[in-house]
Amino acid sequence: MNVEQVIDNLKKRFPNESEYHQAVEEVLHSIKEVYNAHPEFDKQNIIERICIPERIFTFRISWVDDKGNVQVNMAYRIQHNNAIGPYKGGMRFHASVCPSILKFLAFEQTFKNALTTLPMGGAKGGSDFNPKGKSNAEVMRFCQAFMVELWHHIGPNTDIPAGDIGVGGREVAYMYGMYKKLARENTGTFTGKGIEFGGSLIRPEATGYGNIYFLMNMLKRKGITDLKGQVVAISGSGNVATYTAEKVIELGGKVITMSDSNGYIFDPNGIDSEKLAYILDLKNLYRGRIKEYADKYPGVKYVEGGRPWAEKCTIALPSATQNELNGDDAAILVKNGCMAVSEGANMPSTPEAVEVFLKNKILYGPGKAANAGGVSVSGLEMSQNSLRYSWSKEEVDAKLKDIMSAIHESCVKYGTEADGFVNYVNGANIAGFMKVAKAMMAQGVL
Ligand code: NDP
């Protein structure tokens, strides 16, 4: 494989899809040596088949807002690869949603799911619908209209969606309710469901908790076993960010920042459990803005339009969105003594930022490994639904910890360099790739 040629070819065939090109490019650079050592892969053109989604559904959603106006949105479901199991991946509702963003997410998801040790293929979906400022009734009508179109293409053994940016428990419940009504079955096609109707304990917490479990595995290699004395910068204040903060606090770390798309707060005294409970209510009950935290607590700085990476920290946990941490941010983090970055979000660090982390040999856990806890507990939710049974909080948490340790081990296995440094980017990409590629080889040209 000639990486440049493959990328050039993809750029020509799928122009204007920069996020998709970025995600593919990173993986191809990581796997090229392993790929080239297996000529049988190239004979079967595994590389193009693993980069290009198997199927993309694109459709229009029409719905009526509270004023009686008819609104139109675009929606998509990308079924990227089902070599190792049914398609699995979240739904994103955000004004920026477009094929490029969903294709990058579905591509990443395929490798991430392969790392989880569970049998799940990769998918992603969503819409350019912006839930901000919409009433509950509007969100419900939109979710229902979405399902009227998509329900034919998903199912418990074919494609199981979940949440992502803009899609939390409320949206999953509305979509699942409509799906169930149309499909006339109750087998749990959707994860992240409410606990009363087939959801798994720990699922809301799983991505954030999982990221910290992954971080602790990385730190353990340096002889660090808790977060006491660590100063932690977190971005975002949604699902992933809040449960990440919860686990950091539990392990003794000091969380100094959180953010939303308008700006960030810096709390020099640290965000404790009580303050975090306020953020959870602010976000989930009142759908408020992070700025309100600075209005409530004295001594807190709010920076409109800013990102938290210039605040001095020892650990950074980007947990908002893609490309939210660039090369300059990375340089400042390293200069300020940051020794570990673990990604709750998908592809939050730009290629330039990743280069800075790797060059300085700090601990760097890429999203597809570090944030795989969410989809892992989704996989456990699928198992519980199939068994018609539910596991206790402790059981699910223990399984999550084991899975994150196994993912860490795979990264170490495939990513350890001659001097002992673990390149977790290469480790995650190669481990995920080998599993999916072997499954594709075994199943023939499809
Ligand atoms: P939420 O919608 O719950 O929260 C997203 C947070 O990020 C909000 O604080 C939001 O601010 C902020 N944000 C979104 N877009 C931007 C932007 N363009 N610039 C700055 N801030 C932004 O989503 P999640 O917490 O579920 O997802 C966060 C990240 O984690 C995403 O990258 C997602 O793909 C990834 N992820 C999520 C998983 C899950 O289980 N939910 C699993 C694995 C990965 P605002 O409120 O202003 O929009």
State residue 427's pLDDT score.
98
Q: Using CA atoms, how far apart are residues 47 and 32, in angstroms rounded to an integer?
A: 10
Instruction: Look at residue 359 and tell me whether its pLDDT is greater than 90.
Output: yes
User: Three-state SS for 302?
Assistant: strand
Report the DSSP beta bridge partners of residue 232: 255, 315
Query: What percentage of the chain exceeds 70 in pLDDT?
Result: 100
- The tens digit of pLDDT for each residue in 13-48 reads 999 999 999 999 999 999 999 999 999 999 999 999
**What average pLDDT does range 69-94 have in this prediction?**
98
What is residue 167's DSSP assignment?
A: B
C-beta of 374 in contact with ligand 1 (< 6 A): yes
Distances (CA, A) of 162 to 20, 192, 337: 21, 6, 37
Instruction: Look at residue 1 and tell me whether its pLDDT is greater than 80.
Output: no
Instruction: Look at residue 185 and tell me whether its pLDDT is greater than 80.
Output: yes
Distance in Å, CA 239 to ligand 1 centroid: 7
State residue 287's pLDDT score.
85
**What average pLDDT does range 408-417 have in this prediction?**
98
Q: Is 124 a catalytic residue?
A: yes
- The tens digit of pLDDT for each residue in 108-148 reads 999 999 999 999 999 999 999 999 999 999 999 999 999 99
Task: Kindly list the structural domains of the chain, giving each domain's residue range(s) and its CATH number in brackets, ordered by start.
Answer: 3-186 (3.40.50.10860), 206-361 (3.40.50.720)
CB 95 within 8 A of CB 166: no
Whole-prediction pTM: 0.98
Instruction: Look at residue 348 and tell me whether its pLDDT is greater than 80.
Output: yes
Instruction: Catalytic residue, from 103, 124, 180, 368: name it.
Output: 124
Task: Using most ligand atoms within 8 A of CB, pick from 164, 212, 317 the residue to mutate for ligand 1.
Answer: 164
Distance in Å, CA 366 to ligand 1 centroid: 16
State residue 2's pLDDT score.
86
Query: What percentage of the chain exceeds 90 in pLDDT?
Result: 98
C-beta of 199 in contact with ligand 1 (< 6 A): no
- The tens digit of pLDDT for each residue in 297-341 reads 999 999 999 999 999 999 999 999 999 999 999 999 999 999 999
